[in-house]
Structure 1
Amino acid sequence: MTGFPWKAIAWDIDGTLIDSEPLHHRALLATCAAHGLDLSALPESRFVGIHLRDVWQALRADLEEGLTEAGFYRQINLNYVAGSGSLTEIPGAVAVVRALDALGVIQVCASNSDREVVDANLAALQIDKIMRGTISLDDVREGKPAPDPYLRAAEQAGVAPGEVLAVEDSLTGIRAAQSAGMRVALLLPPGHPDPAGDLQPDYRITALNQIPGLRR
């Protein structure tokens, strides 16, 4: 491996590698419409970064009787996968993943999404074969901000957490990666609000193509 100072990189997916929020929003609207709730006027940002459990709690009283929490999740995932052909990469994502692969950097993904969504995202980007492992919410006891997803990602990479750089776009992701003992690069494109608050990522980048040039 040449130049890159970590043995592995652990990618968040939604908002970091793939622009998935519009499709998540459409999948939610379609699911709710099918169960008696019209959310067509809902701002796309309303549930960004909100766990599906909390979305369910916020909406369940207005959904038709008989819909279970598991059924709600399942329908959203089905609608998401059905629309996955519309997904687009975060600028530079595929090129950077391929460049790091060419350098011999081990790559894994750690997501707070369900397995079906993780697989659909990576397939849409055509980088699923490059990843040494992928962690979904189904694979851990606790999702982010708990460290579990990133600890599992380090296990799949076969390296210590301190030898992994995590790339994130959210506060919960930063907390998870730092709690796991990883350094964290926060993707913060120009004009985007900084989600970190009082928490300090190790690096702030404005574009993914800056990652190969990061140094300890």
Structure 2
Amino acid sequence: MSVQAVAWDIDGTLVDSEPLHQEALMAVVATHGVDLSDLLPDAFVGVSLPDVWKVVGSRFPADMRFEDCDRMVCDHYRANMHRLTATPNVDRVMRILHERGIAQIAVSNSNRDVVDTNLRAIGVADLIDFSVSLDDVPVGKPDPAPYRLGAARLGLPAERILAVEDSATGLASARAAGMKSVLYCPDGRACGPADHLITEMIAILDMLDADS
């Protein structure tokens, strides 16, 4: 089998978290009277909070620091983690891969607090070898640093790892790191170049069976 490990993106891939991320950001924005009406609704999908801050930070009051924004966003997110739901069939797929002995990691553009919250909320923390958060790397996706760190910690060549993503930002990171890529896109509309496009998570099993 050429694929020896699967590297999962988390937000939007393992868990339907983008609405809660957006809600948490908008709650902080509203608290401080910041206007984002000139930006597209999906402007920050797959974008790390530090990169969001680079765009909107200057719109906050002068005494507002990134660390304050980060804490408030994370507090809102964690307080509402009970509303997070796993992507359909992802638990089943991950458990089958675990039984087959295929290594699994999670590679996220979120900070450690959010990563751990997500994995705990959907009950898959015991199925992965480790997770890579934004706090673990000098720069996040679309830079290849997160996926390169994942490959290094696994001790595997990047080409033996299948990265599963849902955004152009994540795809760019995985492909730049040299990994095979899968775009999970339920509506079938590609958002970036990938080696494979799937509309249902269960299709990963067929893909790996064909690869064996």
Common fold, TM-score beyond 0.5?
yes
Report Cα offsets for 1:132-168 as digits up to 9, x if no partner. 0100011011211111111111122232212111111
Asked if the contact 2:47–2:109 (Cα under 8 Å) also holds between the matched residues in 1, the reply is: no
Distance 1:151 1:62 in 2: 34
Distance 1:213 1:5 in 2: 14
Asked if the contact 1:109–1:134 (Cα under 8 Å) also holds between the matched residues in 2, the reply is: yes
Matched, 1:68 2:65: yes
**Partner residue of 1:194 out of 190, 194, 205:** 190
Q: Secondary structure at the match of 2:6?
A: strand
| Corresponding position of 1:212 | 205
Asked if the contact 1:29–1:38 (Cα under 8 Å) also holds between the matched residues in 2, the reply is: no
| Corresponding position of 1:113 | 110
| Corresponding position of 1:130 | 127
Q: Secondary structure at the match of 1:18?
A: coil
Q: Secondary structure at the match of 2:109?
A: coil
Report Cα offsets for 1:42-93 as digits up to 9, x if no partner. 9753432333234324433442331111211121112111111110011111
Q: Which moved more, 1:105-114 or 1:70-79?
A: 70-79
Opposite residue 143 of structure 2, the aligned amino acid is A
Opposite residue 203 of structure 1, the aligned amino acid is H
Matched, 1:178 2:175: yes
Identify unmatched segments of 5+ residues in structure 2.
Answer: none
Asked if the contact 2:165–2:183 (Cα under 8 Å) also holds between the matched residues in 1, the reply is: yes
Asked if the contact 1:33–1:39 (Cα under 8 Å) also holds between the matched residues in 2, the reply is: no
| Corresponding position of 2:92 | 95
Identical amino acids, percent of aligned pairs: 41
Asked if the contact 1:185–1:205 (Cα under 8 Å) also holds between the matched residues in 2, the reply is: yes
Distance 1:132 1:165 in 2: 15
Report Cα offsets for 1:90-139 as digits up to 9, x if no partner. 11111111111111111001111111111000001111111101000110
Matched, 1:47 2:47: no
Distance 1:136 1:213, change over 3 A: same
Identify unmatched segments of 5+ residues in structure 1.
Answer: none
Matched, 1:33 2:52: no
TM-score of the aligned structures, taking structure 1 as reference length: 0.88
RMSD (Å), alpha carbons: 2.2
Shift of 1:207: 0.8
TM-score of the aligned structures, taking structure 2 as reference length: 0.89
Distance 2:146 2:120 in 1: 20
| Corresponding position of 1:159 | 156
Q: Secondary structure at the match of 2:50?
A: helix
Shift of 1:179: 1.5
Q: Secondary structure at the match of 1:208?
A: coil
Matched, 1:18 2:15: yes
Distance 1:65 1:35 in 2: 11
Asked if the contact 2:15–2:86 (Cα under 8 Å) also holds between the matched residues in 1, the reply is: yes
Q: Secondary structure at the match of 1:14?
A: coil
